[in-house]
Amino acid sequence: MGDQGAADRIVEFVGDWQGQVVATSVHAGHDVRPDLADLMVLDEAERYREEDPHTDRIAAVVPDRVVTHRSRFECDLNRPRREAVYRTPDDCWGLKVWRDAELPDAQFEGSLATYDAFYDALGERLDRVAERGPFVLLDVHSYNHRRDGAQAPPAPVADNPEVNVGTGSVDHDLFEPLVARFLSDLRAGDLAAGPVDARENVAFEGRNIAWFVHDRYPRLGCVLALEFKKTFMDEWTGDVDETALERARLALAAALPGLAEELGRLDG
């Protein structure tokens, strides 16, 4: 990555990476390469709505974390490689992203290079974490709950918790006590002026970040894929509620000591 500015880097590591709890926020970025920007016709506000703005600020309560500035519309780092580049509308919720019917081969290959560079760098860093013993990666995302329109009622709370904790590929035989402790500690926090509605695998179970870690580090890596409902911002205007965002940050921060304790038991 050399001396490039942070926004030009594919992946940036923050912290000393000496702890066993780390975080990612791979959909927080908004930047795209200039050759992609020249071809992009998707309205910027619509692109922003499908990204996960401010999740990097939530993840920042974890000292050791990955910062990615690139948009998921350049390369979706939480999808398998074969699905990671949105070439046609069928790849991304029917949205027309590119001026032509399909993203050209040259740009497609450039975006796959983004994908490979990210996972190469992440794997190299996590290899060192795993050498020390079990670890947790908090994969922080957000999700829309007002898809019917700015003036329409939000999606039902029954199917849309404030925080969805995805554990679909976690080794539950080993990590179940840790998962249960995390959910308990997270629920004890204060989000939206009350206890946190945190539930497991309601709508999201975790995708490629989780699969990558669980395949590469069996019985060592545990990914908790966190989807924060966008009650901390207006998903249609992009306006952020700083008070609500800070509550989300504090709720997650309050659950970190419990993760450290549970990891200590596993490594004891």
Condensed to tens digits (0 to 9), the pLDDT of residues 54-92 reads 999 999 999 999 999 999 999 999 999 999 999 999 999
CATH number of the domain to which 48 belongs? 3.40.630.40
Q: With respect to residue 223, please indicate whether it lies within any of the assigned structural domains.
A: yes
The neighbour count for residue 62, using CB atoms within 10 Å, is: 24
Q: How far is residue 210's CA from residue 222's CA, in Å, rounded to a whole number?
A: 8
Domain count, the chain: 1
Diameter over CA atoms, the chain: 57
3-class DSSP state of 191: coil
pTM summary value: 0.94
Structural domain range at position 40: 6-267
Q: With respect to residue 140, please indicate whether it lies within any of the assigned structural domains.
A: yes
Q: With respect to residue 74, please indicate whether it lies within any of the assigned structural domains.
A: yes
pLDDT digits (tens, 9 = 90+) for 147-175: 888 888 899 999 999 999 999 999 999 99
| Distances 124 to 128, 132, 222, 225, 250 between C-alpha atoms, Å | 7, 14, 17, 21, 30
Q: With respect to residue 120, please indicate whether it lies within any of the assigned structural domains.
A: yes
3-class DSSP state of 39: coil
Please state the rounded mean pLDDT for residues 225-248.
95
Q: How far is residue 192's CA from residue 145's CA, in Å, rounded to a whole number?
A: 15
Please state the rounded mean pLDDT for residues 104-132.
96
pLDDT band at residue 4 using 50, 70 and 90 as cut-offs: very low
- Specify burial of residue 4 (Cβ count, 10 A radius: 0-12, 13-18, 19+): exposed
Q: With respect to residue 174, please indicate whether it lies within any of the assigned structural domains.
A: yes
Q: With respect to residue 1, please indicate whether it lies within any of the assigned structural domains.
A: no
pLDDT for the residue 192: 53
DSSP 190: B
3-class DSSP state of 14: strand
